[in-house]
Amino acid sequence: MAPRNRELTVRALARVEGEGRVDVTVREGRAERVELNIYEPPRFFESFLRGRHFLEPPDITSRICGICPVAYQVSACNAIEQACELELDDAVRDLRRLLYCGEWIASHVLHIYFLHAPDFLGLPDSIALARRDREAVERGLSLKKAGNAILDVIGGRPIHPVNVRIGGFHRMPTTAELIPLSDELCTALDHAVATVRWVSSFDFPDVELDHDLLALHDDSSYAIDDGEIWSSTGLRCTADEFPKHVVERQVPHSTALHAELDGRRYLTGPLARYSLKSSQLAGVSAQTAADAGLGAQCRNPYRSIVVRAVEVVYAVEEALRIIDRYERPAEPFTAGPPIRTVGHGVSEAPRGLLYHRYEFDPTRSIRAAIIIPPTSQNQAAIEHDLRRAVDGNLMPADDDLTTLCERTIRNYDPCISCATHFLTLTVDRR
């Protein structure tokens, strides 16, 4: 029988981006303390941006994350273009969405095959998975290569793309340059469908989340690069109104801030996107979701791997649609200085909604910046689910219980480095 009082610690989380630990205290058979302790040092990007020219944030903020740099570039562009009151050419918007599809493919596939799938197969890592199922790993590598190819052709390189700028791109690709992408994506679509079949065959614990869900919405398509902000409890607002509803707070045990939506914990990311707008899926992605048994909503965090796989199918389909209708515009970007003093921008990073706010001074420099990444928004929900996992599984030995805690966290694919911000600092000099 497991002891009623226990102290459990995971000192370094494996198969997640960044550095974090888990601390659990069990007293009298109940989880008294459950903390996701993000100890990675603050990275000060919001401070770095102060005083910079208004054209610089896309290049600077892309360095926040090597896995989802496009998300930071697009949210920055959306915020600053709002302040500049720029109207972008439809082809420019399409190309930006295509670039984002490349990131969704590359990021989701990295998580599915190399970080998350080993949990369901009783394996320690993707190296062991490659020994057992070489074909699966090769399929994942091929898919990631397809996503990287999009980033390379449109962004200039697959990590921290250099072709994105306010108002569009420094250079627009020719139609001929996109044809090889289309050929590669046709193969990728088969691999993406096979991925959904593969992950949907895993055994999933029966768990249901009760968090509020938050995602972007676009009437015309499955929102990726922009949109209105919708919640499962009926919130409908614009990016400008996001700070009225989402409030960050500092917690003692983490260098990443926690966030609340109108005073409640909430979740953003694949489960939120799918549950709020699965009806907007069409074609192969809708069929694979149905074949996987997802239904209209999915609130099981363990099945998030299936939702991510369906979103890979959607991103590949969407990329093919955009390439098929692409016509190179006369100009690669629309130029103009900030007209408003503040701009707000949002987009759907692979891990969830990413918000940027920029305030400008009369010299067109940035006076203040706020960036709220999805991982910090999800942290309160992750800790809640950790507590529930511990309370419901107190009988296993310590090693098994700590493994369960790690699995619970990996459901959310946290990007810990993205979540670390500048903290409130009080200096008492005596």
- Segment 153-172, tens digit of pLDDT: 999 999 999 999 999 999 99
Average pLDDT value for the chain: 94
Query: Which residues have C-beta within 8 Å of that of residue 351, sequence separation ≥ 6?
Result: 68, 107, 268, 269, 373, 374, 375, 378, 412, 413, 414, 415
Whole-angstrom Cα distance, residue 50 to residue 63?
A: 16
Is a pLDDT exceeding 90 seen at residue 404?
yes
Amino acid at 202: F
Residue 416 has a pLDDT of: 86
Residue 365 has a pLDDT of: 97
pTM of the model: 0.95
Residue 1 has a pLDDT of: 54
Residue 394 binned pLDDT confidence (cut-offs 50, 70, 90)? confident
pLDDT above 90 as % of the chain: 85
End-to-end CA distance of the chain: 53
Query: Which residues have C-beta within 8 Å of that of residue 126, sequence separation ≥ 6?
Result: 113, 114, 115, 117, 118, 137
- C-alpha triplet 168, 330, 320: angle, nearest 5°: 65
pLDDT (mean) for 33-53:
90
- C-alpha triplet 324, 325, 326: angle, nearest 5°: 100
User: Which is higher by pLDDT, 292 or 398?
Assistant: 292
pLDDT (mean) for 328-338:
95
